Amino acid sequence: MARRETPEINAGSMADIAFLLLIFFLVTTTMDVDAGISRRLPEKTPPNVKPPIIKERNVFQVIVNRNNEILVEGEYTKVDKIKELAIKFIDNGAKKGNPIKLFGETEGTECTWCEGKKDPLSSDHPNKAIIAIKTDRSTDYGTFIAVQNEIGAAYTFLRNRLAKKKYGQTYTDMVKEDLNNKANPSQKLKNRIKEIKAMYPEIITEAESK
């Protein structure tokens, strides 16, 4: 009796279908990508550079302990109060500041744009005001970021207020406009942004508490 032969299956078309399905899923599937926090770390100071003498009143100290408790200038503070306290410190304008090279200054001048109370026990000038953030190894990352956000919000508020007063446009809108006009950048707009940043420079130091 003759043996019946099993007919062969043409797998060529199945391979094509599988390939098309693979392409389909690759094109239509969205993949979650973990995004980190964009931060610019401070440069390491050369060993032969002598650190400047900094007066205590020009340092705004924020400490976050291992229990995520926040101390501002030695007093326990809620995170939502940091912005207000930082603005008051940065914008104090009690005395002359460091020369602003962008303005061609050779000697420091008073902060005529500051609206603070000019408290002699607080910062002399925005370009002398230093925000010092200290944390513990056990500090929650979320608390640390929340503190940084409040400090950043303080600088943004002051820059927006000044830019609105000088140019009728907030600093935030100026930066957005500059980013959107990369193909046709405006040097005038860039100069205004640099000017506002020079008048309220962001000076923040970070360290781990001992």
- In this structure, is residue 64 part of a structural domain? yes
- In this structure, is residue 40 part of a structural domain? no
pTM value? 0.77
- In this structure, is residue 94 part of a structural domain? yes
- In this structure, is residue 4 part of a structural domain? no
Locate 119 and state its tokens.
């408290």
- In this structure, is residue 142 part of a structural domain? yes
pLDDT tens for the chain, 210 residues: list them. Answer: 555 665 665 555 667 777 788 888 778 877 665 555 555 555 566 677 666 778 999 999 999 999 999 999 999 999 999 999 999 999 999 999 999 999 999 999 999 999 999 999 999 999 999 999 999 989 999 999 999 999 999 999 999 999 999 999 999 999 999 999 888 889 999 999 999 999 999 999 987 655
Torsion of CA 147, 151, 153, 159, to 10 degrees: -170
- In this structure, is residue 114 part of a structural domain? yes
Parent domain of 68 = 56-156+203-208
Provide DSSP, the chain: -PPPPPPPP--HHHHHHHHHHHHHHHHH------------PPPPPPTTPPPPP--GGGEEEEEE-TT--EEETTEEE-GGGHHHHHHHHHT---SB----GGGT-SS--B-TT--S---TTS-S-TTT-EEEEEE-TT--HHHHHHHHHHHHHHHHHHHHHHHHHHHSS-HHHHHHHHHHTSSS--HHHHHHHHHHHHHS---EEEEE--
Q: What angle do CA 146, 151, 153 make, to 5 degrees?
A: 90
- In this structure, is residue 138 part of a structural domain? yes
Q: 197 — phi, psi (to 5°)?
A: -65, -35
Measured CA to CA, the distance from residue 50 to residue 47 in angstroms comes to 8
- In this structure, is residue 37 part of a structural domain? no
Total residue length of the chain: 210
Q: What is the pLDDT of residue 31?
A: 65
Residue 49's CB: how many other CB atoms inside 10 A? 7
Q: What is the pLDDT of residue 21?
A: 81
